[in-house]
Every structure is written in C-alpha cells, then in structure tokens.
C-alpha cells in the first residue's frame, strides 16, 4: 500500500526550532556534568534524522526514553510528516499489532520496509495510548493542528517564557509528559532530560544546576515530593508546579498552594485527557487555595458544556469539551490510520458542575458508578467521603460488591471503614470488601492501576467480620485541638454554628476580628501558616495542632520570658494607632500612621473581602465590613453632632467631602470616611461580573492598575477639592490599592516593582520629609516582612490596640479634649477605645451579618 498524498502542513513548533538560535534547548547530566544543546544544534540533528527517515511518509514506532535521541527522532518524524507511535521501550506487542514501517530505538532506526504498508491520513502526526500505559490496543489519533493548538494553549495558560527550564518528571510516552516537552520547546525554553525519580537526590542536584523553573507532576508525584522533604529544599529559580493526571485531594491542593505562597512558586492545577492532546483546563494559580476542588476554566480557544445525564443531581452533567486540540479520533486497527478527523467535541466521561463564578468542578465519573444490591453508588463520592474521614482509599466496582483498598494503613481502621461504608450507603456488610495494601500498583504514568488493584482484592477474597468488637477510635491530640479551635472561632466570631469545615473567611471574619483571632490561635496551635484564615478548622488543627500535653507544658512556661511572632499587619495596626494618639496628644511627633493604616486596610481587603469563592460572597462580605466600620462611626459622630455645633450631619453621614467641610475640626474623621468610600466603590466594582472575573484572572495587575490610576489624583492631574486634600478618598486611592497589591505580590519581581512605586510616589506627598519617611518605612515593612518577633510582654498591649484601632481612632479626640492632651489623656483614650470596641461588637456584629445575609439572598 502507498501513503495518501501529504498535506503541506507540518507541526509549526518544529519549524521554529532554528529561530531560537543559540538558546539552550536541551539539558542533561553527563559524565562531565551538565550538558546542553542549543536550538540550532538540535535543528541540525533533527534535519539529519528527518533525511534518514526518508521523504515518503512512514509509520514510525518510537520507543521513548527521557533522552536526547528520543527528542531528536520525535521532532524529525513530526518535521517529515511521519505519523509516530510513542511508547515505552520493549513493547513488542505494539510492534505486532500496528506493524510499523520503522522502529526507532535510541539513535537506531530499524527500517522494516522501504516505503509504507499503510494508508496514512495527511494530517495524522501522533498516536498515543489512551491511558499513558504501553499495552493498550486502542490509540488516540492526534493531528499536526492538535499538537500546535495545545502547545499554544499550555503556553498561554502557564505563561511559559524563554527563560523557563522544565524537567522531564514524567515519561514522554505519556501525553502530559510529552506536552511539557513540546510546549516549552515552542517558546524557546529549555528542557532538562532525565529519567531520575524525584526521590533521587541526583535529580535535585541536576534541577538546581540547570536552573529549573517549572516542575510537572501527577498526584503520586506530589506524594513523593512530600516524602523527600520538598518543602525544605532550596530551589531558587522554581516558579511553577503543575498538577494533572488525576484528581488531587482538595486539602493537598490547598496545602501546596499555601506552600507556594511561602516559597515563591505557584501551583497550577490542570485537567486533561490524551483525547484532547494533553490539557483542557487550568485553575488560575491565585484561586488554588480558595477553590481546591475545581479544575478551573477551559484553555484558550476551548469551551466546556454539560450534557444531561439521568439519575444525577440537578446542575450536574457529563462534561463535554470542544476545541482545536480534540483528537481526530481513535484507531483500533491500521485501517483507521487513513481516517479523517471526527467531531471537535469530546465527551469526557466525567460528571461535573459549574460554580456560580464559572469554574468547573469534577464530581464523579460516569464509568465510576457501581450498582450493588440494586443501589447506584458513586465510587468517587465514596473515596472523597473516606478521605474526609482520614482514610485514603481506592474504591472499585467488584460486580456485586464494593472493593475498598486502604492505602498505607496498618489494618486497624478496616473495621471502622467497613462499618462506615455499610451504614452510610445502606449496603450490607457482606457486600463490602475492605483490605489494606502496602503498595498501590501504578501505571507507567504514575496513575493508580485500578484493574490490577481490583484483581488483587478479588483474588485475596478478603472478608471482614460483619459484627463484633469494633476498635475504639483514638481521641488524638489533634481531635482535642479541633474542638478547642472550633470553640475559639465560635467565641470570637459569635458563631456557635461553626463546624470543622469552616474557616475564618467562611465564617465572615474580617480585619477587625482577625488580630485577636490570630494571636489566640497562635497561643493554641503555635506559629500559623500565612493563609490560615482560609483553611478549614479541622485542616488547621490537624496540620498545626500540638498535643495537649505539649500545650500544657508550653502554658506552664512564663509567657513574658519568650518572644512571640506576630504578623506584620497586626504590629503595624497596633503601632500606628498608638502613634496617632500619642502624636495628637503632643507626647510624640511621628505623623503618617493613618496613611499607613490605609495601606494595611487595602492589604486586609485582599485577604478577607476577596477570599469568597462566589461574587455574592465577596459583595456580601464587603458590605458586612462597611457596616462594621460605618455603623459605629455614624452613631458616635451623630452623638458628637448633638453636643458640638462645630460638626454637621454631613459628618455623621460620613459625607464631609460632599458637604464641603472647611474647618480642621470637621475633618477629624477623614480616615473613616475615606475608607468607607473606597470600600463602597470597590463593592460597586465587584457587582459587575466582568470586573469580578477580571480581578480573579489578574489578581496582581488589577490593584497595581488602580494604584497607577490613583496617581492622577496624587499628582494633581485631576482635582479632588481644595480643603484637606490628602484625606479625600480619591487622593488616597493609591495607598489603599498599594496595600491590596502588596497582598497579591507573590513573586520577588512584583515586590521590587512595588518598592520602586513607593520610592517614586511617597516623596513630596505631604511636603514633610520625616512624615514621608515614616509612611515609606511602614509600607516597605508591610511589603517585605511577613511577620515580626516581638517580646511576649508586648503582645497584651499590641493586640488590643490593633483590634480596637477603629474605636480608638473615633473616641480619642473627645476623650483627650476632656482629660487633656497629655500622656494621661492618650492612655485614657486608648483604654476607652478598647472598652468601646468590646461593648459595641456584640451589637454591631449581628447587624453586619444580617446585612450580609440579605445581600447573599438578593444576589443568589
């Protein structure tokens, strides 16, 4: 047989190799250390091998390794229009099944005939196993367009750039591993070729020496990373971890995202199938911690929809993908190699739903529905429920039984799991098989080999006893810590309904309650992670809780003898309000504290108000915060209006800038008014769906853009009014937006950019160099220093001051006007503000929550 006439279209990324010139394309560790191959040299080798493969298209079977020869042969086949089956070494079954014209092993090309024995479609470029394993008789047919399209989509989704260096942590016959190679080569980036495992110290030596920036893995890879102490590794250029190849537990996604924030890298959760060339969706990195169960949104040019499935919950359907990266179709025999492309839609076989924000969540698998004793059971749901109970397991359909393999268990939990599964899903105990496995079988791509695991459980014929003594679960130290943490949340947030799955943000805590909560939690659990406020109570306690005996010993040690670690924003709030009061009292002369507090408010806004998964949550949370600030302020200033004719109702309405206040006294509460106006404006912004989506997609660029836009007021390009200019909301927009951007600045270059912004914008703002120096020092401390060590004896002073800062600001003018502008007057003001905060909170908090609840109902 002869080949069908070939299309002139070739894989574009291969044709661009030479354009990258002397840039490093491939790196590997040789006997003499790190070796490199430039793009120009790679292009030369590809051309030579393309000539060796011949001019007429032939079917090539490539036994792939993570080495230079594999890459050269693969690219040569793609450049010459030779469809290539990529498989693991030693797969003689595929040679027999597909009768390739050429078998490539390393640098050797074993020609089995001069031409081809097959009719080959002109657009056919690549054939891969559907599972990434090596023995599947069915292959996925991928076209030249599929490869170029998905490489571009991945480059776009991950913002890959020429200075990136990726390591081959996955085999190249696996679509995910192959896409790492092709996407990086398409932008002139470099690839470290290695077949070492991530548990091998030599892998990390090579990764560091080559300047590795991106690392790809399946969930099992991340388990291995945990095992080798990845969190403590020094990887100075690492900027991105990508995860695909199966669902990773939400708790693990959140944990890795938080580790990335601490260490300066990002986590990109991705979703794909071989049938879509590689990847179909990516979760924006800034949403990983807040949406750990989501796969995100479709890659550029792709589109998701839901197909109706009978018998599933409302809003759930089979996920269907459409895009240019969808395969030509399957090949079950050589006759299929001549077939043209099929539909550009791909039913994924996954059950999914859309969140109100347009993110996709996978909730199950069509083929993962078992029918036991007449009951339809979602096996993925069973796995998720067991994992939530602390029992990682793999659940399979055993025909008339449920098969549950407990991973890494010593067997003591088997009875508990048997009873729990039986009772929760109304399945007779005799129809549930629970077994422990020391080592879970896996495919070559690292996925769990469920068929092999199923066969093992059936062969063992494990039958747990249906009744009898059940081991009593150990009430561990962590369990006690969970109860204590939950009680603390209930007390400080006035939320007796708090559950183990709630977080500080989900319980609608904000910056006013954040200070006391963080300090009390630190005393209970020890040093807190940066994103503790978005972590579930159970997760926080399980990860950071100390055993009760240890806590008791710690509490017996005199606290004032130790140092404590407080978040920088907490320290700045306490110091700033103290300096404001002492400066107004004439005791000190350190001005600028209120403007630092505006940046701290922007920082808190990003951490709390923008942590909601849904737009309605964000807007409701914002209005709750506005209520917590505006209500007590309006009431207090309203009382002052009644007794002091220097004030007007414009002041009580927090509209002095509208009412035209011209006296210094009338502008005493400018800070509160400016903060409320800024939050109100941002509330309106987030009510617009497009702007809400923009902020989620560009979490650093949006506040940076606002900070830059605010400069038109800062430098007087647009007038804001003639009196008390530096206290008007528009004039201090740049400060609030700067604090917001600081909270979103995860990368070092972003922090340096904001440092430059401070250096340019702060000088000249007040016309007072000392005041500007104080503001700049506060801003840069907030930007660069996450936490500060303070003497333990100072904590009982700093924390109440920071917590009550709003109320101290409100009352201190009136208190000192009666007690005196002195150190005594300042002390009494601080104490009075603290008492006012304690007294007003039980009244203000229910009102704020009611406002938030009404807004949620309206927007839902």
Instruction: Write the pLDDT tens digit of every residue in 751-764.
Output: 999 999 999 999 99
pLDDT, one tens digit per residue, over 58-100 is 999 999 999 999 999 999 999 999 999 999 887 767 888 899 9
Q: How many CB atoms lie within 10 A of CB 304?
A: 20
As a CATH number, domain 12-360 is: 3.40.50.12780
> What's the confidence (pLDDT) of residue 408?
67
pLDDT at residue 598 tops 60 = yes
pLDDT-derived band at 1 (thresholds 50, 70, 90) equals: very low
Q: Is 210 or 381 the better-scoring residue by pLDDT?
A: 210
Q: Is 551 or 543 the better-scoring residue by pLDDT?
A: 543
The residues facing 128 across adjacent strands are 140
Out of 3.40.718.10, 3.40.5.10, 3.30.300.30, 3.50.50.60, the CATH code matching 373-460 is: 3.30.300.30
Mean pLDDT comparison of 198-207, 277-286, 364-373, highest-scoring range: 277-286
The residues facing 270 across adjacent strands are 282
Contacts of 303 (CB under 8 A, 6+ apart): 321, 322, 323
pLDDT at residue 782 tops 50 = yes
pLDDT at residue 329 tops 90 = yes
**What count of Cα atoms within 13 Å lies in the side-chain half-sphere of residue 494?**
12
Q: Is 234 or 376 the better-scoring residue by pLDDT?
A: 234
* Average pLDDT of the residues in 13-40: 92
Question: Domain 477-557 adopts which CATH fold?
Answer: 1.10.1200
> What's the confidence (pLDDT) of residue 223?
80
pLDDT, one tens digit per residue, over 371-406 is 564 455 778 778 888 888 888 888 887 766 788 888
The 3-state secondary structure of 381-409, one letter per residue: HHHHHHHHCCCCEEEEECCCCEEEEEECC
* Calculated CA dihedral for residues 125, 127, 132, 136, nearest 10 degrees: 180
pLDDT-derived band at 3 (thresholds 50, 70, 90) equals: very low
DSSP SS3 for 83 = coil
pLDDT at residue 832 tops 90 = yes
Q: Which helix (H) or strand (E) holds 789?
A: strand 787-791
> What's the confidence (pLDDT) of residue 554?
42
Per DSSP bridges, beta strands 33-38 and 24-30 are antiparallel
Contact of 248 with 384, CB cutoff 8 Å: no
pLDDT-derived band at 443 (thresholds 50, 70, 90) equals: confident
Closest CA to 143 of 7, 341, 299: 341
Average pLDDT, the chain: 83
Q: What is the DSSP letter of 115?
A: S
* Average pLDDT of the residues in 835-843: 90
Q: Per residue in 344-354, is it b (16+ CB within 10 Å) or e — as a string?
A: eebebebbbbb
Contact of 303 with 323, CB cutoff 8 Å: yes
Closest CA to 374 of 428, 330, 301, 413: 428
Contact of 94 with 61, CB cutoff 8 Å: yes
pLDDT at residue 553 tops 60 = no
> What's the confidence (pLDDT) of residue 471?
30
* Average pLDDT of the residues in 240-247: 89
pLDDT at residue 33 tops 50 = yes
* pTM higher than 0.85: no
Closest CA to 796 of 566, 537, 532: 566
Q: Is 725 or 254 the better-scoring residue by pLDDT?
A: 254
Token pair for 351: 């059950």
* Cα–Cα dist 487/464, whole Å: 38
**What count of Cα atoms within 13 Å lies in the side-chain half-sphere of residue 398?**
23
pLDDT at residue 131 tops 80 = no
From 503-517, 682-696, 707-721, the region with the lowest mean pLDDT = 503-517
> What's the confidence (pLDDT) of residue 632?
94
Contacts of 548 (CB under 8 A, 6+ apart): 477, 480, 481
pLDDT, one tens digit per residue, over 807-823 is 999 999 999 989 999 99
* Cα–Cα dist 468/457, whole Å: 23
* Cα–Cα dist 677/506, whole Å: 25
* Average pLDDT of the residues in 239-258: 90
pLDDT at residue 217 tops 80 = yes
> What's the confidence (pLDDT) of residue 456?
78
Helices H / strands E in the chain, number of each: 31, 27
Is 400 exposed, middle or buried (CB count within 10 Å of its CB: 0-12, 13-18, 19+)? exposed
> What's the confidence (pLDDT) of residue 777?
95
List the domain boundaries for the chain.
12-360, 373-460, 477-557, 568-859
Per DSSP bridges, beta strands 24-30 and 190-192 are parallel
């Amino acid at each position: 047989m002869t080949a069908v006439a070939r299309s002139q279209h070739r894989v574009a990324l291969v044709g661009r190799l030479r354009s990258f010139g002397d840039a490093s394309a491939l790196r590997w560790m040789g006997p003499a250390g790190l070796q490199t191959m430039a793009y120009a040299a790679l292009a030369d080798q590809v051309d030579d091998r393309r000539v060796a493969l011949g001019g007429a298209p032939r079917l090539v079977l490539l036994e792939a390794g993570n080495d230079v020869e594999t890459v050269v042969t693969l690219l040569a086949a793609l450049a010459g229009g030779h469809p290539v089956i990529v498989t693991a070494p030693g797969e003689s079954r595929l040679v027999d099944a597909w009768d390739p014209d050429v078998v490539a092993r390393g640098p050797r090309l074993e020609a089995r005939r001069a031409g081809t024995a097959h009719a080959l479609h002109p657009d056919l470029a690549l054939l891969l196993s559907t599972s990434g394993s090596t023995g599947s008789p069915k292959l996925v047919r991928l076209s030249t367009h599929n490869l170029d399209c998905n490489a571009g989509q991945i480059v776009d989704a991950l913002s890959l750039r020429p200075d990136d260096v990726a390591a081959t942590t996955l085999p190249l016959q696996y679509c995910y591993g192959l896409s790492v190679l092709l996407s990086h080569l398409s932008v002139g980036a470099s690839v470290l070729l290695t077949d070492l495992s991530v548990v091998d110290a030599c892998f990390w030596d090579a990764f560091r020496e080559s300047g590795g920036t991106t690392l790809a893995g399946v969930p099992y890879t991340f388990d291995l990373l945990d095992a080798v102490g990845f969190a403590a590794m020094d990887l100075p250029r690492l900027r991105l971890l990508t995860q695909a190849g199966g669902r990773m537990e939400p708790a693990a996604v959140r944990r890795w995202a938080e580790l990335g924030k601490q260490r300066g890298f990002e986590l990109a959760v991705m979703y794909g199938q071989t049938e879509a060339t590689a990847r179909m969706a990516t979760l924006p990195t800034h949403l990983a911690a807040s949406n750990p169960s989501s796969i995100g949104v479709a890659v550029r040019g792709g589109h998701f929809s839901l197909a109706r499935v009978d018998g599933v919950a409302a809003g759930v359907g089979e996920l269907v993908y459409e895009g240019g990266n969808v395969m030509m179709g399957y090949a079950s025999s050589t006759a299929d190699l001549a077939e043209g492309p099929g539909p550009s839609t791909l039913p994924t076989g996954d059950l999914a739903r859309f969140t109100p924000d347009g993110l996709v969540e996978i909730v199950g698998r069509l083929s993962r529905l078992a029918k036991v004793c007449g009951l339809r059971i979602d096996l993925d749901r069973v796995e998720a429920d067991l994992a939530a109970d602390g029992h990682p397991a793999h659940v399979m359909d055993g025909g008339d039984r449920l098969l549950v393999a407990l991973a890494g268990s010593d067997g003591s939990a088997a009875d508990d799991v048997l009873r729990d599964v039986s009772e929760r899903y109304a399945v007779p105990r005799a129809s549930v098989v629970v077994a422990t496995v020391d080592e879970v079988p896996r495919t070559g791509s690292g996925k769990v080999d469920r068929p092999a695991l199923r066969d093992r459980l059936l062969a063992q014929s494990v039958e747990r006893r249906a009744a009898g003594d059940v081991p009593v679960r150990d009430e561990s130290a962590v369990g006690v810590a969970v109860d204590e943490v939950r009680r603390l949340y209930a007390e400080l947030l006035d939320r007796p309904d708090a559950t183990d799955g709630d977080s500080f943000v989900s319980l609608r805590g904000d910056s006013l309650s954040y200070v006391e909560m963080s300090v009390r939690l630190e005393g209970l659990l020890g040093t807190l992670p940066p994103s503790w406020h978005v972590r579930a109570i159970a997760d926080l306690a399980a990860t950071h809780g100390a055993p009760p005996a240890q806590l008791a010993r710690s509490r017996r040690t005199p606290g004032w003898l130790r140092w404590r670690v407080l978040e920088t924003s907490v320290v700045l709030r306490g110091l700033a309000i103290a300096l404001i009061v002492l400066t107004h009292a004439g005791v000190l002369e350190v001005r600028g504290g209120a403007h630092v507090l505006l940046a701290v408010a922007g920082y808190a806004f990003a951490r709390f108000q923008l942590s909601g998964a849904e737009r309605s949550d964000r807007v409701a949370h914002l209005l709750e915060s506005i209520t917590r600030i505006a209500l007590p302020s309006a009431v207090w200033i309203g009382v002052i209006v009644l007794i002091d004719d220097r004030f007007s109702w414009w002041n009580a309405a927090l509209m002095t800038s509208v009412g035209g206040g011209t006296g210094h006294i009338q502008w005493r509460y400018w800070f509160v008014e400016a903060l409320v106006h800024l939050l109100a404006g941002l509330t309106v912004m987030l009510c617009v769906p497009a702007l809400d989506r923009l902020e989620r997609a560009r979490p650093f660029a949006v506040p940076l853009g606002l900070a830059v836009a605010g400069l038109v007021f800062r430098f007087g390009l647009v007038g804001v009014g003639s009196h008390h200019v530096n206290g008007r909301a528009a004039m201090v927009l740049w400060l609030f937006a700067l604090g917001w951007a600081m909270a979103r600045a995860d990368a070092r270059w972003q922090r340096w950019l904001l440092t430059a912004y401070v250096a340019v914008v702060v000088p000249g703002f007040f016309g007072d160099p000392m005041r500007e120096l104080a503001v700049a020092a506060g801003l840069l401390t907030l930007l660069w220093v996450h936490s500060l060590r303070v003497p333990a004896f100072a904590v009982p002073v700093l924390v109440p001051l920071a917590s009550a800062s709003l109320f101290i600001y409100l009352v201190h003018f009136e208190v000192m006007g009666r007690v005196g502008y002195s150190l005594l007057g300042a002390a009494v003001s601080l104490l009075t503000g603290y008492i006012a905060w304690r007294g007003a909170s039980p009244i203000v908090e229910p009102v704020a929550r009611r406002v938030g609840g009404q807004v949620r109902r309206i927007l839902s």
